[in-house]
Amino acid sequence: MRETIRMTPEAQQMKQLIAELIRRPNLVIDENTALVSSGLIDSMALVDLLVKLEDITHMRIPPGKVQPKDMDTIALMFATAQRVGKPRK
């Protein structure tokens, strides 16, 4: 519960999308919940997370610079956007 309170509004938005994608209302996820490596999110859903991440951060995340492991947790997603994101044209 504490984790949820500490989440930024951006992370909360991402968490909401993930909850919609995995459709498992009883599952509690936080910023460090493994999503891809645990099998909760499959490769074909990664694009939805990337598009959302680009929207939230106002960055473009170029292909070739991001791997599924960079999207495994909410915390990693935002770190990835910081690391490889380019300002939107």
Partner 1 sequence: MKQWHTLVDALNAAPGDRPFVTSWIDDDEQDEVTFAEFRRRARVHASLLLDQGVAAGDRVVIVMPQGIAAMTVFAGAMMLGAVPAILAYPNFKIEPAKYSSGLAGVAANLAARVVVIDEEFPEDLLGHVSLHDSSRLIRAGRASDGGSESELPVAGIRPDGLAFIQHSAGTTGLQKGVALTHETVLTQVGHLARALQIDGAIDRIYSWLPLYHDMGLIACFILPMVCHVPLVMQSPLDWVMHPDTMLQVISDYRCTLAWLPNFAFQFVPRRTPRERWPQFDLSSMRALINCSEPVRASSMEEFLQAFAAIGLKRNALQSSYAMAENVFAVTQSDINDPGGPKCIWADSMRFRSEHRVATVPQGTPGAMSFASSGRLLPNHVVRIVSDNGEILPECAVGEIHVKSDCLFEGYYNRPDLTASVLTAGWYHTGDLGFQMAGELYVVGRKKDLLIVGGENLYPQDIEEIVAGHPAIHDGRVVALGMYNPNLGTEDIVVVGEVEREETLVDAAEIERELRSRVVAAMGVAVRTIILKPPKWIIKSTAGKPSRSGTREKLVHEHPEFDV
What is the signed CA dihedral for 10, 12, 44, 53, rounded to 10 degrees?
Answer: 0
Region near partner 1 per CB under 8 A, out of 1-9, 12-20, 61-69, 75-83? 61-69
Nearer to partner 1, 2 or 89 (CB): 89
- Of 24, 40, 6, nearest in space to 49 by CA: 40
Nearer to partner 1, 1 or 47 (CB): 47
36 binds partner 1 (CB under 8 A): yes
Of 66, 74, 77, 81, the residue at the interface with partner 1 (CB under 8 A) is 66
Tokens at 17, concatenated = 């999308």
Q: How far is CA 60 from the centre of its chain?
A: 14
3-state secondary structure of 23: coil
Chain positions contacting partner 1, by CB under 8 A: 26-27, 36-44, 46-48, 50-51, 62-69, 71
